[in-house]
Amino acid sequence: MWTYLKHYKLSLFLAIFLKIVSSVMNVLEPFVLGLVITELTSNLLDMAKGVEGAGINTGYIFWVLLIYAVRALFYEIGAYGSNYFMTRTVQHSIRDLRNDMSQKINHIPISYFDKHQFGDMLGRFTNDVETVSNALQQSFLQIINAILSLVLVIAMVLILNAKLALVVLLSMPITYFSAQAILKKSQPYFKRQANVLGKMNGFVQENLTGFNVLKLYGREEMSAKEFVNITDELQDVGFKASFVSGIMMPILHGISDFTYLLIAFLGALQVMAGKMTIGNVQVFVQYVFQIGQPIQTLTQLAGILQSAKSSLERIFQVLDETEEAANVTETLDKDLTGQVSFNHVDFQYIEGKPLIRDFNLDVEPVWSDDCRCWSNWSWQDDTD
Q: pLDDT for 28-59, tens place per residue?
A: 888 888 888 888 888 887 788 777 777 888 88
Query: What's the confidence (pLDDT) of residue 236?
Result: 87
pLDDT of residue 70 exceeding 90? yes
Higher pLDDT: 312 or 115? It is 312
76-80, 136-140, 182-186, 376-380: the lowest-pLDDT one = 376-380
Strand pairing report for 353-368 and 373-381: antiparallel
Q: Among 261, 258, 281, 283, which Cα is nearest to 270's?
A: 281
Side by side, which strands form the sheet with 373-381? 340-350, 353-368, 373-381
- Answer yes or no: is pLDDT of 258 > 90: no
Per residue in 137-161, pLDDT (tens digit) is 878 888 888 888 888 888 888 888 8
Inter-residue contact 92 to 8 (CB < 8 Å):
yes
DSSP result, 27-39? HHHHHHHHHHHHH
Q: 376 in helix, strand or coil? A: strand
pLDDT for 69 equals: 92
Say whether 338 sits in a helix, a strand or coil.
coil
Please provide the distance, in angstroms rounded to a whole number, between the alpha carbons at the two ends of the chain.
50
